[in-house]
Amino acid sequence: MKLANWNLERAATPARRRAQREQVESIAADVWVFTETRADFDPGLPYSCASASGRDGLAGLDTPADQWVAIWSRWPLEALPVSDPVRSVAARVRPDAIPPFLVFGLVLPWSRDNWRGFSPAGGESFRQALKLQQTDWLRLRREFPDDELFLLGDFNQDLVEPRYYGSRANRAALRTALDECGLVALTGDANDPVRRDSAPWACIDHICSRRDSRWITSPTTRWPDAPRPDKSLSDHFGIAVHLSLKPA
């Protein structure tokens, strides 16, 4: 199984969407989480979709088509309720030959982002949004204790030293929130494919899984294979991970 995560930087023009779709088709992931996406952007193949409703936080730029986050799956999926239906979306994916699993797509506030009246000063908006989304992670773990849970999205926070984006306080808060949910970032520290292959850049878009996951993880990858993102596609690298089930 292959999971992929990419911030499309609003996929704002038809030419950009065509180029992004070509890149998406070349990655050939089974499950995608797109952030800063649009209702009229799809992977170009038969997929099922669950998406957040609209977008906030970029006054004067948003259009009715803009969405913060969408999940696309080759397999059928069932949308699940979330506490922040604008910046997060959850789904239960039901493949034919492997056990069902949960996907939670998200966007967390960036360094100058107000969220629901909370100021970005001192990382307050980030930590308040993280706290709310963490309640969903904990609830999903309780409601579906046997399901794998994967978090993918734009966390707007690195998980590597030296610092690239975000703050050390927000990084510590994110690590704590993941740990309290029994989750681990597959794209943090030495496993960060952007820092590994395109330093000094680093992941702020992450893929996370259960710490006790039944899936074996191959090394994470990033695209484009270049020193920096391809601005004609997006100002973010895309990231992906291959997983295979451990023998029973």
What tens digit of pLDDT does each residue of 33-58 get? 999 999 889 888 778 888 877 666 65
Residue 60's pLDDT is what? 54
Domains and CATH numbers, the chain: 2-245 (3.60.10.10)
Residue 66's pLDDT is what? 87
Residues recorded for the chain: 248
* Mean pLDDT, residues 59-78 taken together: 84
Residue 70's pLDDT is what? 94
Residue 65's pLDDT is what? 83
Q: pTM score, two decimals? A: 0.95
Does residue 179 contact residue 201 with C-beta atoms inside 8 Å? no
d(CA 34, CA 170): 23
**Percent of the chain residues topping a pLDDT of 70:** 96
Average pLDDT, the chain: 94
